Each structure stands twice: as C-alpha cells, then as structure tokens.
Amino acid sequence: MGATGAAGVPGGGADDVSHMLDLRREARALAIVLPELSLSDEARAAAVDEWLGRMVNEHVSARVFAALIPQLMRAGVDASEQAVVADMVGQELRHGRLCAAVVDALGGDARAPLPELVDVPTHDDATPLEAVLRNVLSISCLNETVAVALLETGRELAGPPPIRRILTEILRDEVNHAKLGWRLVERLLPRVDAATRARLDAYLVPAFRQLLERHYVPDHLARPISAPEVGVDDTRASCALFLDVVTTVIVPGLEAHGLDARAAVAIASAA
Amino acid sequence: MSTPEHARKRGLRAALAAAGGRAREAAPPIVITSLTLLAALAASGCLPKWGPPAPPAFPEAGRTT
C-alpha cells in the first residue's frame, strides 16, 4: 500500500486541498531522466506507488526532527547538535522532493494525500533529558538505523544511475540521522540516574512495538511483486533484513549502553 | 548491481557502522506472538519505511507539541 492507501484524509469539500501534498512542480524542477526501462505495467505502477509513499513519508518526517529542536534546547544539549537537527529538517523535505522526482520520471503524478500527522510527544511526565532521550532512541537508534540498512540494500540493487544517485544522497543523510541518536545516547545516558534508566528501558517496549508494527511483514501480507532495480523492495527480504538489524545491531548496541533492549523486544513482540 | 545477498550484507554493515561500528553478540531471534501486534500488522501492510514516525507516547498519550 502506498501513500494514497495510507492516508487518513478527512472527506469532502475544499478542505481536501490543504490535506494534499503536491510536489509536481518541485519534481519537474529536478528533471530526473531515467533510461528506457523494461518494466511491466504492474512493476511500474508498484514503483510509482512506492516512491509516492516515500515522498509523503520523507516530507512529513521533517516535522519529527523539527519537534526535536525545542526538546534539545530544554535538555541543554549542545547548540551544535541543535543546528545539526535543524539541517535534518531540510534534508527530509529534500528527500521528499527527490522521491517526487522519481515518481515524475516513472510517469506518475507527484501528488498524494497527507496522512494523519501524529504529534511528536513532549513527554511532560519526564525531565527534559529523559524526554529527549526517549524520542531520540525511537527516531534515530531504532527507525533511522533500520532505514540505513534498507537504503544501502536498495542502493546496491538499484539499476538506473539517477535512482542510485538519489538513494546515495538520501542514504548519506539517513546515516547521519542514525548516528545522531547513537552519539546522543553515548553522551547523555551517563548523566541519568538508575530510575531514569529503568524508565527508558520501559519506554523501549512501545518504541520497539511501533518499530515491529512498521517493518514486520508476515508472509501472507508480502507484496506479490518486487522490482529492486527501480526501488520496489522484496518485502520478505526487507523484513528479514529488518529483523537482523534489530537483533544484531540495535539490541546489542543499546545493551552496550546499559539499556535492557532484549527484554523490551521480548515484551513488545509478545504482549 | 549487486546480488540480493551481497546487498543485504552491505545494508547490515551500513547499519552497524551507523550504530558505532562494533559487532556484538546478537540477541535471540524475534518471534511475534502478540495477537494485537499481528492484527496491527495486518492493518499496516507494506508501507514505505524510511522517514521516522512520531515516537510513541509513554506511558499514555500526554501533551504534545
């Protein structure tokens, strides 16, 4: 399912216009030209749908990084890190435009409904430091670390040079988005007490649960078509890679920082 | 273009490098037994997976930005 299927757009009336993401002009301005592709109609449609979904996903994820900035300020995190995160807002918006350009180059229409924009939690029950750690764990250590694996794999399997170049640019940024989290965890976790650390362990349960909901694809739900040369992943292979990243990279990495990620994954997958 | 297996290994290595680069003992395989989670998976399907979503609230939805 792509962006059109994922959207929760309120029905009816002129309000619909404000709930659409229209990057057709931006896509045309980037003028991506693909070589002639020997794709079936079904594969091309799947590719358009996938890149359209990515366009929306990348665009709206800019707000997630934007919301991190005041949290970093409240937690007294270095101003240089705040500036780095501010750049990430622009990067996600650019990724949306790059994905739109691929949609356009594939013959699609870079316009799609926006999904419901869930607010980024401020975690007012926690200290500023704990609050920002919760969000950084979820955003960077979990989600962006998985994204790096998926993107590098996709880049390796991509065919047309313009698509490889776009994936390379997005990957470069996502690597930094993931590194941000691991860097902040290394710097900030030693400053929290045992009780806070225990609450962060507990927070990892809903964080991993969300990650599993997002990336785990049971066999019966696997997409019947894949065209990795144009960015349509084999969902079974992507799911297997996702599980490997969680068990060999994320969980051991968090455990090395003293967080009980193993227990969190076990609870998230069973409860 | 790589083979799928080579590409997968590259992807895993890239994630490890982003997380600090040190290979450590792997956690046990994940086995999903939660019925509510499986139901949620059925609803989400094959969505695009790059941009991070808003993190979950904890313990319950509190005030948001």
- Per-residue confidence of chain A (271 residues) as pLDDT tens digits? 334 433 333 344 444 456 899 999 999 999 999 999 889 999 999 999 999 999 999 999 999 999 999 999 999 999 999 999 999 999 999 999 999 999 999 999 999 999 999 999 999 999 999 999 999 999 999 999 999 999 999 999 999 999 999 999 999 999 999 999 999 999 999 999 999 999 999 999 999 999 999 999 888 888 888 899 998 888 889 999 999 999 999 999 999 999 999 999 999 999 8
* A57 CB-contact burial (10 Å; exposed 0-12 / middle 13-18 / buried 19+): buried
What confidence score (pLDDT) does residue A217 get?
Answer: 87
* B10 CB-contact burial (10 Å; exposed 0-12 / middle 13-18 / buried 19+): middle
Counted residue by residue, chain A has a size of 271
Tally the C-alpha atoms within 13 A of residue A35's C-alpha that lie toward its C-beta: 10
Counted residue by residue, chain B has a size of 65
> Is A114 touching B (CB cutoff 8 A)?
no
* A120 CB-contact burial (10 Å; exposed 0-12 / middle 13-18 / buried 19+): buried
A177–B19 C-beta distance less than 8 A: no
Residues 54-113 of A with CB under 8 A from B: 54, 56-61, 63-64, 67, 70, 92, 95
Residue B39: which pLDDT band, with cuts at 50, 70 and 90?
A: confident
A6–B56 C-beta distance less than 8 A: no
CA distance B23 to chain A (A): 7
Report the residue of B58, B64, B65 to disrupt the A interface, i.e. the one with the largest count of A CBs within 10 Å: B58
Nearest to A121 among B7, B45, B62 (CB): B62
Residues in chain B with CB shorter than 8 Å from the CB of A212 are 30, 32, 37, 41
CA distance A145 to chain B (A): 5
Q: Where are the alpha helices (DSSP H) in B1-65?
A: 4-18, 35-44
Phi, psi of B64, rounded to the nearest 5 degrees: -125, 165
Q: How far apart are CA A112 and CA A103, in angstroms?
A: 11
Residues in chain B with CB shorter than 8 Å from the CB of A202 are 58-59
CB atoms within 10 A of CB B38: 15
Bridge partners (DSSP) of residue A21 are A112
- Of the candidates B27, B62, B49, B52, which has an alpha carbon nearest to the alpha carbon of residue A138? B52
Residues in chain B with CB shorter than 8 Å from the CB of A221 are 41-42, 45-46
Nearest to B44 among A156, A214, A222 (CB): A214
- DSSP state for residue A230 in the 8-state scheme: G
What string of DSSP letters covers A98-137? HHHHHHHHTT---EEEPPP-PPPB--TTS-HHHHHHHHHI
B7–A156 C-beta distance less than 8 A: yes
Nearest to B65 among A67, A146, A271 (CB): A67
Q: Is the pLDDT of residue B42 over 80?
A: no
Extract the tokens encoding A40.
Answer: 């079936």
Bridge partners (DSSP) of residue A22 are A111
Extract the tokens encoding A238.
Answer: 């992507």
Cβ A171 vs Cβ A151: under 8 Å: yes
What confidence score (pLDDT) does residue A12 get?
Answer: 41
Q: Between residues A242 and B47, which one has the greater pLDDT?
A: A242
Listed in sequence order, the residues at least 6 apart from A242 whose beta carbon sits closer than 8 Å to its beta carbon are A146, A149, A150, A215, A216, B49
Residues 176-235 of A with CB under 8 A from B: 177-179, 182, 186, 202-203, 206-207, 209-210, 212-218, 221-223, 228-229, 234-235
Cβ A9 vs Cβ A113: under 8 Å: yes
What confidence score (pLDDT) does residue B50 get?
Answer: 85
Residues in chain A with CB shorter than 8 Å from the CB of B16 are 248-249
Phi, psi of A20, rounded to the nearest 5 degrees: -105, 140
For residue A20, give the 3-state DSSP assignment: strand
Q: Is the pLDDT of residue B63 over 60?
A: no
What string of DSSP letters covers A134-147? HHHIIIIIIIIHHH
Q: Is the pLDDT of residue B55 over 90?
A: yes
Q: What is the ipTM of this complex?
A: 0.90
Tally the C-alpha atoms within 13 A of residue A177's C-alpha that lie toward its C-beta: 37
**Which CATH code fits A41-270?**
1.20.1260.10
Quick check: pTM over 0.90?
yes
Listed in sequence order, the residues at least 6 apart from A41 whose beta carbon sits closer than 8 Å to its beta carbon are none
Residues in chain B with CB shorter than 8 Å from the CB of A59 are 51
Which helix (DSSP H) or strand (DSSP E) does residue A237 occupy?
helix A235-245
